[in-house]
Amino acid sequence: MAKIVIMGFVGCGNMGDEAILAGTLLQLETEGRRDVTVFSWNPEDTLARHGVQAFPVLPGLSGLRDFYARLHRGDLFLLGGGSLLQDGERRVVPFWLMRAFAARLKGCRVVFHAQGVGPLNTGLAKVMVSLLVPLCADLVTLRDPESFAHIPAFLKPRLVADTALLLPPVQAEKVPRRVVVSLRRISEMEDMEKDLAACLAHFAKRNELQLVFVPFQYPEDCEVSDRMAKLTGGTAVSGPLTLDEVRQLLASAELVVAMRLHSAILAAGVGTPIVGLTYDPKVGSFFAQLGLSPAQCPWSQDFRYQTLLDILHREYHSREIQEARLAEAVPLLCERAAESVHLALHKWEQRR
C-alpha cells in the first residue's frame, strides 16, 4: 500500500529540523494521514520523539540503494522542509537531489516540501538544482520569497511557510526579566564574539535581566552557549531538551535573541518578541515576512555593538508592540504552512 515518506535533516540533534517534522506530522494527522515513514540519522530517537516509524540514513552508494529499496511505486515522497538545497558543504546538494531522483525512478510522487533554497554558490549546485528539480518534482513549495530565484518559474512553485509554526499553543507563565539567547558558532566570526558578549552583558546589566543560553543544535552549539554565558554572567542550558521543553522556555521569556532561525520561528509561534542576529538570508527573510525587519541586526562584518544594543533596548522596552504584531502576522504564516501539506496531499491524490 502506498504511504507517505519524509526525509529531512532528522535525527541529527537540530531542534529546528525536529520542529519542522513535528509540525508536518501534526498537519498530516489533522488531514487524516497517519501512514508515514521517516528517514532518520537516528531512527530510535525519531521513534521516541515523534512516534513514527523510521528507517536509517546510510552513507555512500549503498545508502542510496537502501533508500531506493525501501520506497514503493506510488508513495508520496516529501523532501524537506528546511534549508536542504544550499551548498555550505559541497556534497549537500548532490546528496538531497540524488534521493529525489531515486524516488522519481521508483515511481514516487516527489514534493520539495516547504524548502528554503540557497544560497547556491558553486556551479555544480546551481546546475544540479536547475536540472534535477524540474526532472524530479511533482510540486515545489517554498518557505520564503528569496528561494524563488533558484527554482525555474515554469514549475510554478508555491509560497508556503515553515511547518514548525504548526505546533500547538503553549501555556507558560512569563518569568520576569528572562531573556533567552540562541547562538551558533561561525568560525570566521570568532573575533566578533567579544563584542557580542559585551553588548549582551551591558544590555542585561542595565535592565537587570537573566540571560539563558539555549543550544538548538546539540552538541555543536553547547560550546558557544557555555562560553557566552560565562562572559555575560548568564546561564547555559546543559543537556539536550525536548521540543516541548524548548517551547516552554521560549514562551516563558520576555524576549528571545535568535541567531538560529528556528529559535526565532518557535519564539514567534508562542508569541514571544524576538531580536534576530542575521547570519544567513533565511533569518532576515523570516523577520521580513513578520514585518519585523527593524528587529534584526546583521551578524557579519557589518555587525556593530551599538546597533545591536539599540535594537535590544528598543524591542525589549516596546515588546507589547511586537507581541501585537506577532499576534497579527503569525496566524497568516500558519495558514500558509498548513497549505504546504494540503497541496502535497492534493497533488498525490491527483496522480494516484
Bridge partners of residue 298, in order along the sequence: 278
Query: Is 275 in a helix, a strand, or coil?
Result: strand
DSSP string, 326-352: HHHHHHHHHHHHHHHHHHHHHHHHHH-
The three three-digit cell numbers of residue 342, written as one number: 494540503
Burial 17-42 (b: 16+ CB within 10 A, else e): bbbbbbbbbbbbeeeebeebbbbbeb
Matching fold, domains 4-159 and 178-331: yes
Domain boundaries, the chain: 4-159, 178-331
Which is nearest to 314 in space by CA: 286, 283, 275?
275
Close Cβ partners of 11 (under 8 Å, ≥ 6 residues apart):
40, 41, 42, 43, 45, 46, 54, 57
At 266-311, the pLDDT tens digits run: 999 999 999 999 999 999 999 999 999 999 999 988 899 999 999 9
Kindly indicate whether the domain formed by 4-159 is annotated with CATH number 1.10.540.10.
no
Under CATH, which number does the domain 178-331 receive? 3.40.50.2000
Which is nearest to 177 in space by CA: 209, 132, 139?
209
At 226-275, the pLDDT tens digits run: 999 999 999 999 878 999 999 999 999 999 999 999 999 999 999 999 99
Share of the chain above pLDDT 90, in %: 91
- The yes-or-no verdict on residue 155 having pLDDT over 90 is yes
C-alpha torsion 149→150→153→158, nearest 10: -90
Predicted TM-score of the model (pTM): 0.96
Share of the chain above pLDDT 70, in %: 98
For residue 238, the model assigns a pLDDT of: 84
Q: For 49-70, what is the mean pLDDT?
A: 96
Close Cβ partners of 38 (under 8 Å, ≥ 6 residues apart):
5, 6, 7, 10, 21, 46, 50, 52, 53, 54, 55
Determine how β-strand 178-182 pairs with β-strand 210-213: parallel
The three three-digit cell numbers of residue 322, written as one number: 511586537
**Distance between CA atoms of residues 282 and 150, nearest Å:** 14
For residue 171, the model assigns a pLDDT of: 87
**Distance between CA atoms of residues 292 and 116, nearest Å:** 19
For residue 222, the model assigns a pLDDT of: 94
For residue 350, the model assigns a pLDDT of: 83
**Distance between CA atoms of residues 20 and 214, nearest Å:** 18
